[in-house]
Amino acid sequence: MTIQETGTARPAGRPRSEKAEKAIIEATLDLIGEGMGVSELTIEAIAARAGVGKTTIYRRWSNKEDLVVDALATLKAPLPPLSGTSVRDDLITLVDAMRREHGQARSRCVMNIAMSEADRYPRLLDRFMKLAVEPRREAMRAVIGRGVASGELRPDLDVDMGMSMISGALLWHAKWGPAGDLPLDLAERVVDAALAGMAP
């Protein structure tokens, strides 16, 4: 280990290149987006597209599935901050973040192709759920649970059913609704329709 002039310790070995990691992630998403399924995807193809060596990839990811999970996770924006002022406002914030994610054609395409092979790659699906989906579920569960506790929502409300009503409505619009961009007011409409059946 060497000490830099500032007096801070620098870890031994080659520093990770953020530029290389970004190129690898983008190459993975590009190849999947062009129609290459996870089973066809190879580290060689990713390395060639990213302009890096295979060892650069293996230095960061031990296998293809871990790389694909991390690449898919970048399509999910960080959870938005919640005001905590009302259940309606917080649900609209969460659902609007989902609307923006689903509104991106490239993200939808990549997600559909990657998830179509979930049966063949259960570990990939499991890791993706834990990394990218569960935090969003927990945030929505907490908001709805808070609404039940505060009296904003029915005391007998089935929280999971409430979550599925909201998420399901958004997914319907994203997958089977009219073609084109998802409406800017979709989050408000979905949340208000769900709250009509969830309010006391």
Q: What is the pLDDT of residues 168-193, one digit of tens each?
A: 999 899 888 776 778 999 999 999 99
3-state secondary structure the chain: CEECCCCCEECCCCCCCHHHHHHHHHHHHHHHHCCCCCCCCCHHHHHHHHCCCHHHHHCCCCCHHHHHHHHHHCCCCCCCCCCCCCHHHHHHHHHHHHHHHHCCHHHHHHHHHHHCCCCCCHHHHHHHHHHHHHHHHHHHHHHHHHHHHHCCCCCCCCHHHHHHHHHHHHHHHHHHCCCCCCCCCHHHHHHHHHHHHHCC
Task: Report the CATH architecture of 15-73.
Answer: Orthogonal Bundle (1.10)
Tell me: the pLDDT tens digits for 59-92?
999 999 999 999 998 988 888 999 988 999 999 9
Single pTM value for the model = 0.79
Residue 125 has pLDDT above 90, yes or no: no
Residue range(s) of every CATH 1.10.10.60 domain in the chain: 15-73
Q: What is the mean pLDDT of the chain?
A: 88
Residue range 36-46, pLDDT digits in tens: 999 999 999 99
